[in-house]
Structure 1
């Protein structure tokens, strides 16, 4: 019975989804698929999706979510520049996180979690502040690592996804729940694809 209700809700959500929302979802999915392929075009695709989402969020008066979307926009522009930068300061190749980068990642995740929890509990009527804050802060960390072209970005993004999936079902956001499941699966393959490419490039380097 519960499955029937969920599927009915999914059908209703699909029917009520506007063109701009489909564009946002479509370009968002495209950016993740391109990220799996280690293709820099993930950033222009992602930026289009973020801008579409931004208009929807402002229209819905979800200003906190709009600010979160703005972070993704900034990190996408930063990542695009870093991926195109062929110098030693850029991120033209896949690599693993250094010790310093791991510390920064944890600082983003834990600091962001505390900050968002404070905001949600003091300035919103959120009934799931701990989980909601965790999903966003780990996604922040993953986005930062993606911009640096670090293999571990997929791990952090999927930590966010695996917690977000039951949260979204709990909130009856069925369409977004299924989308997040899809993104979780893509991220798993993305990790192994990137690891294979990283190992291959190291093998070539050692041969030379």
Structure 2
């Protein structure tokens, strides 16, 4: 029992300091996003860059690729939050449109099946389809966050719940704990953005669909 606890503590604390830096910056970027702070984007870029290394070392190749997508989307989202509204104004929180749900659902299904097949047959990924599914949902959630759609937090709540056991299984204990915290942050973000959307609607500053 003591030996098992020692192994757990060693893996969680001393095995990869890089992961701990990624954990701290990851927490910070989600908290900033929940607060609608533009600073979430540069912090997210740093965190994603670190996680490319962490996930590659743990053979989570789909999630490694995901971090690269997140970096690109963060750069684009940074611009969108500043100038993506009507007449190049700042975006306000709005609701997801029906056509967005449709193409995001189809895209996630195609990605999960296609990339899951690739991971299963050409890599040593032990959970190829689940790895691909979490990547697909995360990309959809990131797109909605980039457009300041309120429902992005629904997707983050769901995918965070999946990531906790996956990352624990991969012995990424600090990151697994981080995703458990993300669940609470996602709920907080939803409540904050819902309030912001109600204010925007009441004041007539809601951006039109783009």
- TM-score tier, shorter chain, comes to 0.7 to 0.9
Superposed CA deviations along residues 37-82 of structure 1, whole A, max 9, x for unmatched, are 0111110111121223335556778765443221111111111111
Pick from 20, 23, 37: which aligns with 1:25?
23
Matched-pair contact (CA < 8 Å) for 1:142–1:153: yes
Given that residues 34 and 40 in structure 1 are in contact (C-alpha distance below 8 angstroms), is that contact kept between their aligned partners in structure 2? yes
The CA distance in 2 between the partners of 1:109 and 1:199, in whole Å, is: 29
Say yes or no: does 1:162 pair with 2:182.
no
Task: Could you tell me which runs of 5 or more consecutive residues in structure 1 were left unpaired when the two chains were aligned.
Answer: none
RMSD of the alignment, in Å? 2.7
Distance 1:160 1:169 in 2: 14
SS in 2 for 1:28: helix
Partner of 1:119: 118
Q: TM-score, normalised by structure 1?
A: 0.85
Q: Distance in 1 between matches of 2:143 and 2:120?
A: 25
- Give me the whole-angstrom Cα distance separating, in 2, the residues matched to 1:72 and 1:39: 17
Relative to structure 1, the CA distance from residue 165 to residue 22 in structure 2 (aligned partners, 3 Å threshold; closer, same or farther) is closer
Q: Given the alignment, which residue of 35, 38, 44 partners 2:36?
A: 38
Paired with 2:180 and 2:78, the residues of 1 have a C-alpha distance of: 26
**TM, length-normalised to structure 2:** 0.84
Deviation at 1:21, TM superposition (A): 3.2
Question: Which residue does the alignment assign to 1:53?
Answer: 51
Q: Matched residue pairs, number? A: 204
Contact 2:30 2:182 in 1 (8 A): yes
Query: Offset of 1:138 from its aligned partner?
Result: 0.6
CA contact (8 A) 1:10 1:174 kept: no
The 1:150–1:161 alpha-carbon spacing in structure 2 relative to 1, beyond 3 Å, is same
Match of 2:102 in 1: 103
- Name the SS of the counterpart of 1:67 in structure 2: helix
Change (3 A) 1:95 1:7: farther
- Paired residue for 1:80? 78
Higher relative contact order (CA 8 A, sep 6+): 2
SS class of match (2:38): coil
Deviates most, 140-149 or 127-136: 127-136
Is the aligned partner of 1:151 residue 2:156? no
Partner in structure 1 of residue 191 of structure 2: 192
